[in-house]
Amino acid sequence: MGIPAGPAVLSWSRLKRLLGSYGTWRPPSAAPERCRAAVGSRLRPDRALHTARPRCRQVPLTCERYGLRRLPFGRLSRQDVGFFQGLMPGRASTDPEELKQSNVDWLKSVRGCSELLLKPKTAAEVSQVLRYCHERNLAVNPQGGNTGLVGGSVPVFDEIILSTALMNQIISFDPVSGILVCQAGCILEKLNEFLEERGFIMPLDLGAKGSCHIGGNVATNAGGLRLLRYGSLRGTVLGLEVVLADGTVLDCLASLRKDNTGYDLKQLFIGSEGTLGVITAVSILCPQKPKAVSLAFLGCQDFSRVQETFTTCRAMLGEILSAYEFMDEKCMELVEKHLGLSNPVRGSPFYVLIETSGSNSTHDEEKLNSFLEQAMTAGLVTDGTVAVDDKKIKTLWSLRERITEALTHDGCVYKYDISLPVGKLYDLVTDMRARLGQRAKNVVGYGHMGDGNLHLNITAESYSHSLLDAIEPFVYEWTARYNGSISAEHGLGFKKKQFIQYSKPNEAVFLMQHFKAMLDPKGILNPYKTLPYSP
């Protein structure tokens, strides 16, 4: 297979010399130039990137809003469009209406100006697309269900959008091992439905399941609601098929639970947000569908009781505990106010949602009852409700799953997705609330307690520069002080890439940049994302 020669890859030592010594290296901070004569931005260029705007307004172009400089990629020509239309007739769209949707993220917070949307059906087509783009130096934005929260899934400038929407075939499922092999564009919820009919479930679940693609889930290392029980995708993904920047197809689509033959290449693509390769197929280990599921929705009087309830239920529910989520009362007010949902347990500053999944409903019920009795007797929880039927379980879950949606109706949202030691989890919310006072409309905290994952969200009537100054870098410094992560599960995408150094040492960032330079020497794959600087 012919590989067009790209720019020479920098050796790591040379890269380090170019960028200076570890101690003094910082992400470039000079204000970037604008790409076009355009609307002036009143926002600081590398700030305000993680805010979502109320849905009613027109979303400004990202490149204009943040005054970014376009990298010197090729410009899409008529000949290029002709090539793609010849390659995949009817699936290479330049229709402005269709592009409109794919250019904007779900939060309506960032917008690109791509003029071409490609919908390949096979890895071979993806390979042909990338080989051509690599030769022509055309930038590419891989896109799954476009449900990301950090602007990773839409173009920043005019990158060609490479959608996995038509790569939606299930390749195989083995009911003995529980291993599913499917194309990257399969929708998570559809896969789960397919599996449930066969007595299995997907090992991950998240609010966006109705739209998100499994390829996007893997590319962003999505966490979600089942991680506590079934672990991360790094353990459950068994194989990947990936197309590299130069069109090389890397077939590591093993369907084996164990394989220690050489370095585990697939891991590099899990969580790389489409910057190192395009995932075209996934092999994943699926757990058996639990025979019994129950859900307890409980109120706690303070956060220390939320914590103690967690350690108590972990000890008493043991192997059947499958989720432990928490949310503060402000979250519940917002889902009631903006979405009209009804909170069945009132008057508590905190709520927790505990799910059990097991193989014997009698045993599970006994364990849950013992735990609830203990928690009530010890004063850990003051009120609550328990659901065992599907409909009520779904209703209770929606209280937690739809908080993100409710927030988008509350105004301009400043979103943070933080990992912290469990004991520190809510202190950040309290400190932030005290710090912002009346300047914020709402400061709310919720998240995956069992994983030490806090979703901190701040809303205001409109974007305010001084409010952002009060939040940042305070929130990142606070997180770094406790060795937390500034992105637990959302990834860095476009919005958080400048802040990676709060959670990763310079040596690690250098190494990542070197991997990027090695695998994608022209930098055509999802540019402007994940890393603060690409050599």
Among positions 256-275, residues that touch its own copies (CB under 8 A) are 256-265, 267-268, 270-272
Nearer to its own copies (CB atom), residue 155 or residue 223: 223
Instruction: State the DSSP H helix or E strand holding residue 234, giving kind and residue range, or none if neither.
Output: helix 233-236
Which residue type, as a one-letter code, is found at position 405? E
Taking CB under 8 A as the rule, does residue 276 contact its own copies?
A: yes
Taking CB under 8 A as the rule, does residue 43 contact its own copies?
A: no
Taking CB under 8 A as the rule, does residue 177 contact its own copies?
A: yes
Closest CA to 141 of 157, 122, 165: 157
Near its own copies by CB under 8 A: residue from 29, 360, 369, 462:
360
Give min distance, CB of 488 to its own copies, in A: 4
Closest CA to 302 of 346, 343, 354, 349: 349
Near its own copies by CB under 8 A: residue from 33, 174, 302, 373:
174
Taking CB under 8 A as the rule, does residue 18 contact its own copies?
A: no
Taking CB under 8 A as the rule, does residue 12 contact its own copies?
A: yes
Near its own copies by CB under 8 A: residue from 252, 339, 376, 393:
252
Residue given tokens 């699936």 in the structure block? 91
Near its own copies by CB under 8 A: residue from 151, 185, 223, 527:
223
Near its own copies by CB under 8 A: residue from 144, 290, 299, 527:
290
Near its own copies by CB under 8 A: residue from 236, 408, 459, 498:
236
Nearer to its own copies (CB atom), residue 31 or residue 256: 256
Closest CA to 453 of 490, 501, 400, 497: 490
Task: Give the CA count within 13 Å in the CB-facing half-sphere of 173.
Answer: 20
Give min distance, CB of 415 to its own copies, in A: 14
The DSSP letter of residue 302 is: S
Closest CA to 188 of 258, 76, 270, 286: 286
Taking CB under 8 A as the rule, does residue 283 contact its own copies?
A: no
Q: Which stretch binds its own copies (CB under 8 A): 53-61, 103-111, 163-171, 420-428?
A: 420-428
- Assess whether the previous peptide bond of 203 is cis (omega < 30° from 0): no
3-state SS of 305-339 is HHHHHHHHHHHHHHHHEEEEEEEEHHHHHHHHHHH
3-state SS of 346-365 is CCCCEEEEEEEEECCHHHHH
Taking CB under 8 A as the rule, does residue 404 contact its own copies?
A: no
Near its own copies by CB under 8 A: residue from 376, 422, 470, 480:
422
Taking CB under 8 A as the rule, does residue 453 contact its own copies?
A: yes
Give min distance, CB of 162 to its own copies, in A: 20
Taking CB under 8 A as the rule, does residue 445 contact its own copies?
A: no
Closest CA to 512 of 264, 216, 265, 272: 272
Q: Which stretch binds its own copies (CB under 8 A): 68-76, 104-112, 183-191, 306-314?
A: 306-314
Q: How many Å apart are CA 244 and CA 227, to the nearest integer?
A: 29
Residues from 459 through 518 that contact its own copies (CB under 8 A): 483-492, 496, 500, 503-505, 507-509, 511-512, 514-515, 518
Give min distance, CB of 454 to its own copies, in A: 10
- For CA atoms 267, 270, 273, 277, the dihedral sign is positive
